[in-house]
Structure 1
Amino acid sequence: MLLTTSASIYAQDLKGDAKKGETLFKTNCSACHALDKQMVGPALGGVVDRLKTEQNLGVDWFQKWIRDNKALRASGDKYANEVFEKFNKVEMTAFPNLTDQDIADLLEYTTNPPKAEPAAAETDVNSPEAIKAAQDEKNNSSALLISLAAVGGLLLWLLFRLTQLVNLHRKSGEISALDATRINSIGEFYEKYNTLGKALMGLLALFALYGIWNWLMWVGVYKGYQPEQPIYFSHKIHAGENKIDCQLCHSSAKYGKVSEIPSVNVCMNCHKGISEYKGKYIEEGKSREFYTAEIKKIYEAAGWDEGSQSYTGKTKPIEWVRIHNMPDFVYFNHAQHVVAGEQTIIKAKKVDVVCKACHGQVQEMDKVQMANNFTMGWCIDCHRTTEVDMTNGYNKEYYQKLHDKLKKQYGGETKMTVDAIGGLECGKCHY
């Protein structure tokens, strides 16, 4: 959105409020503009004086441009058409709802943006309070050292006294008689406790076999697996804070066997116009600058030049680390589960999106991790507990006879679950 003019050249007696203008700018303009750099549209910092000097344009021109730039271009306005051609013929959104005061506020913000509040001053190390605190810390350290020295001295005295007592008993012969009853080697110990030793060895062997068996049962089970990715992607920001639907990025999940990793052009659909992070949510240990730097990695992969707002053709593949990966002997179809499960799984598992039944609360994950075991037992348990939606017209007609049979066999309150319609057949998953 091309905004220009300053309070000094207003034709109207309207004084702009930079604070209000900042709010309006963030709401209406920040997707395409910044004050200090070119994005989809030009940088707007200081643009008022620049266009007044270079084009001799006043407030009336800018009001026409902001409210309906298409009509202004159609009128034959030279500069309006030059701007349109320069920025790749990207048509700016019209804002007919903005009042003269709103525009004055926006223009004031582009000319005199509010200064950031200064950081709190650091504590003066030479202040009386700082000197007193340092002295107190020194006194505490000295007291601690004296206490430790006293405890050390007491322990040394106790050791000396115990040595004296042992030597006294050795002279009396009591220690020598006690030594004669002691076991001095492992062999002597084994001979003395032969039966107990064999029992313990057998018990240890059983524990070892159990440990090996338990380890084998967890081969290929990676619940909690959370690898580092080449570009830090926070699902909490995208799916949680911004409420982006899973299938906007993973579009093949509903119609294909595999839910593919989105290609970089999917990322650029949004990030072509979002070059820096300005959200409120910041993960502990991270910063807005950190998230912005990760966006730049997307640009590098896509070959996007921010300055010219064009692709260079020099692309770089993003080597994502796969998290969920079924073994080769397992058949799993995303489309089958997403389409059929949108009703059944949501009702049975009490989740709002079917994806969460397997992948967990992804919208709360900064770094995605494997949320479940994905063992055969886990899948079977899901099929045994997930109800088929019998209010669905197709299911009600197709499974009615089977449902009546189950009710007759197990009682009138019997629910139709996935295992009853073939969910436990080996050939469904193994072929």
Structure 2
Amino acid sequence: MISWRKHYKRGLIAIGLLLSTSASIYAQGDAKNGEKLFKANCTACHALDKQMVGPALGGIVEKLKTEQNLDTDWLHKWIKDNKALRESGDKYANEIFAKFNKVEMLPFPNLSDQDINDILEYTTNPPAPEPAADAAAAVDTNSVAALEAAKKDSLNSKIILISLLTIGGLLLWLLLRLRQLVKLQQTDELAGLNATRATSFADLYKKYDYVGKGILALLGILACYGIWNWMMWIGVYKGYKPEQPIHFSHKIHAGDNKIDCQLCHSSAKYGKVSEIPSMNVCMNCHRNISEYKGKYMEPGKDKAFYDAEIQKIYAATGWDPGKQQYTGKTQPVEWVRIHNMPDFVYFNHAQHVVAGEQAIINSHNKKNPNAKIDVVCKACHGQVDTMNVVQMANDFTMGWCIECHRTTEVDMNNGYNKEYFKNLHDKLKKQYPQSEGKITVDAIGGLECGKCHY
């Protein structure tokens, strides 16, 4: 009996030690700091709840302990230098390396032991997300407010309409009464005079035919001007913003996430055309971003909408997010073009983005002090980083381009212009004395027909 009690007490002590040891594994780190470190170092390849480039890391400490009998020391070695661990002959390290297509994980010697403990604490006990503004609720609130405002406006409109109809009815009644009074008081002399007056439009036109012809001539001139003006604006689509097969919010990408325009539109700097980026450019980021976690929501859209659009990217590229590999089954995306120069117009993006970048920015900011730009693209395409759906921000007519060439000052002191236009400086100063030494694009051939037409 005594022996049994001794074993029982020893068992309790062992269980207590085991529990305290297990608890200490999870109590060594700060989950909130671990979350920051995880997002800064690990999210490119890992998530807590799903496999990405690497395995899901939620509960990884307990999983390794249960399945492989490995403790946190092994994880420390793996995180700091997994290559050295593999080269030491560690069996499980080499199994993991082979399982995930021999994609080598970056070493993190910069992480201290406490940093790693914080990360492991986060993977074991992730802190509850801080209460954030519910975008959907905000949209609903805005919708209700908008609906109430619309009802109020509708009621006001009805009141105004009824009031106008009432006033119109009263005026009509007064006119009829006045007509009756005039007839009652009309004398024979007035009746004879009325007999000589024009009583129809034909009589009136016959009596004042020269006035009628003048009015018809004026109407003809106005009609010709209207037709000419209409024809001049054919092909001008300022404000055109078609819906695309895959929704892409520039406000989220270029605005909130500060992605540089030329990261996606790379040929704008090196070629004539700023091409639509290929889908593999999207996959550079969205291979590891399979759902939308931003706080900003467009009116009428929710997280499910954005997640569905990301799935369209995967369908187009043939990407299987579960297996983290391409299937080879792709679907072409038929983008709707917004900006398209006519065939007889030559426009080179590189010439403006590289050679004219600072001059264009300076000119735009001088003319628009309340709407300054920091990227040359915005001078033509508008504040793209605020657009949910990209639209044509300017007219892009010949007159619009000429006006820009007439007002944009050329930096004559930069290395290229200073050398290339060395012999023209004096001539330009004499030819444009009013410029006070400031030369605009038109002075160096910016209005020559052959520059843009061929």
Range class of TM-score, shorter chain: 0.7 to 0.9
CA distance in 1, matches of 2:250, 2:132: 33
Unpaired runs of 5+ in structure 2?
1-18, 135-154, 366-372
- Among residues 371, 384, 392, which one is paired with 1:370 in the alignment? 392
CA distance in 1, matches of 2:74, 2:355: 57
Report SS of the residue matched to 1:400: coil
- Residue equivalent to 1:277: 292
Q: Are 1:425 and 2:448 counterparts?
A: yes
CA distance in 2, matches of 1:332, 1:119: 46
AA of the residue aligned to 1:65 = W
Q: Does the aligned pair in 2 maintain the 1:10–1:59 contact within 8 Å?
A: no
- Residue equivalent to 1:3: none
AA of the residue aligned to 2:38 = F
Q: Are 1:242 and 2:257 counterparts?
A: yes
Q: Does the aligned pair in 2 maintain the 1:9–1:59 contact within 8 Å?
A: no
Q: Are 1:217 and 2:232 counterparts?
A: yes
Q: Does the aligned pair in 2 maintain the 1:226–1:368 contact within 8 Å?
A: yes
How do residues 113-124 of structure 1 correspond to structure 2 at under 5 angstroms? 113-116=126-129
Q: Does the aligned pair in 2 maintain the 1:223–1:370 contact within 8 Å?
A: yes
Report SS of the residue matched to 1:347: helix
How has the CA–CA distance of structure 1 residues 425 and 290 changed in structure 2, closer, same or farther, with 3 Å as cutoff?
same
- Report the Cα offset of residue 360 of structure 1: 2.2
Q: Are 1:65 and 2:65 counterparts?
A: no
CA distance in 1, matches of 2:20, 2:257: 36
Report SS of the residue matched to 2:356: helix
CA distance in 1, matches of 2:201, 2:43: 79
Report SS of the residue matched to 1:238: helix
- Residue equivalent to 1:93: 106
* CA deviation vs aligned residue, 1:19-51 (integer Å, no higher than 9, x gap): 333333323222222222211111222333322
Q: Does the aligned pair in 2 maintain the 1:346–1:354 contact within 8 Å?
A: yes
Q: Are 1:408 and 2:430 counterparts?
A: yes
Report SS of the residue matched to 2:333: coil
How has the CA–CA distance of structure 1 residues 189 and 75 changed in structure 2, closer, same or farther, with 3 Å as cutoff?
farther
Q: Does the aligned pair in 2 maintain the 1:7–1:16 contact within 8 Å?
A: no
Q: Does the aligned pair in 2 maintain the 1:11–1:59 contact within 8 Å?
A: no
Report SS of the residue matched to 2:423: helix
AA of the residue aligned to 2:437 = T
- Residue equivalent to 2:222: 207
Q: Are 1:397 and 2:419 counterparts?
A: yes
CA distance in 1, matches of 2:296, 2:117: 31
* CA deviation vs aligned residue, 1:258-288 (integer Å, no higher than 9, x gap): 1111111111122212222223443343333
- Report the Cα offset of residue 195 of structure 1: 5.2
Equivalent residue pairs, number: 391
- Residue equivalent to 1:232: 247
- Report the Cα offset of residue 183 of structure 1: 8.7
CA distance in 2, matches of 1:361, 1:7: 58
Q: Does the aligned pair in 1 maintain the 2:353–2:376 contact within 8 Å?
A: yes
How has the CA–CA distance of structure 1 residues 86 and 424 changed in structure 2, closer, same or farther, with 3 Å as cutoff?
same
Q: Does the aligned pair in 2 maintain the 1:302–1:316 contact within 8 Å?
A: yes
How do residues 94-173 of structure 1 correspond to structure 2 at under 5 angstroms? 94-116=107-129
How has the CA–CA distance of structure 1 residues 217 and 53 changed in structure 2, closer, same or farther, with 3 Å as cutoff?
same
CA distance in 1, matches of 2:374, 2:385: 11
Q: Does the aligned pair in 2 maintain the 1:41–1:87 contact within 8 Å?
A: yes
Report SS of the residue matched to 1:406: helix
Report SS of the residue matched to 1:240: helix
Deviates most, 252-261 or 308-317: 252-261
Report SS of the residue matched to 1:401: coil
Q: Are 1:24 and 2:34 counterparts?
A: no
Q: Does the aligned pair in 2 maintain the 1:301–1:318 contact within 8 Å?
A: yes
How has the CA–CA distance of structure 1 residues 10 and 77 changed in structure 2, closer, same or farther, with 3 Å as cutoff?
farther
- Residue equivalent to 1:123: none
Q: Does the aligned pair in 2 maintain the 1:32–1:41 contact within 8 Å?
A: yes
- Report the Cα offset of residue 301 of structure 1: 0.5
CA distance in 2, matches of 1:348, 1:119: 41
Task: Give TM-score, length-normalised by structure 2.
Answer: 0.75
How has the CA–CA distance of structure 1 residues 119 and 257 changed in structure 2, closer, same or farther, with 3 Å as cutoff?
closer
Q: Are 1:338 and 2:353 counterparts?
A: yes
How has the CA–CA distance of structure 1 residues 119 and 207 changed in structure 2, closer, same or farther, with 3 Å as cutoff?
closer
How has the CA–CA distance of structure 1 residues 282 and 405 changed in structure 2, closer, same or farther, with 3 Å as cutoff?
same
* CA deviation vs aligned residue, 1:220-274 (integer Å, no higher than 9, x gap): 1111111111111122222222222222212222222211111111111222122
CA distance in 2, matches of 1:91, 1:11: 31
Deviates most, 189-198 or 98-107: 189-198
Q: Does the aligned pair in 1 maintain the 2:61–2:72 contact within 8 Å?
A: no
How do residues 211-360 of structure 1 correspond to structure 2 at under 5 angstroms? 211-350=226-365, 351-360=373-382
AA of the residue aligned to 1:112 = N
How has the CA–CA distance of structure 1 residues 259 and 203 changed in structure 2, closer, same or farther, with 3 Å as cutoff?
same
CA distance in 1, matches of 2:57, 2:308: 22
- Report the Cα offset of residue 193 of structure 1: 6.2
Q: Does the aligned pair in 2 maintain the 1:7–1:15 contact within 8 Å?
A: no
Q: Does the aligned pair in 1 maintain the 2:271–2:350 contact within 8 Å?
A: yes
- Report the Cα offset of residue 198 of structure 1: 4.1
How has the CA–CA distance of structure 1 residues 32 and 202 changed in structure 2, closer, same or farther, with 3 Å as cutoff?
same
Q: Does the aligned pair in 1 maintain the 2:27–2:121 contact within 8 Å?
A: no
- Report the Cα offset of residue 196 of structure 1: 4.8
- Report the Cα offset of residue 98 of structure 1: 3.2
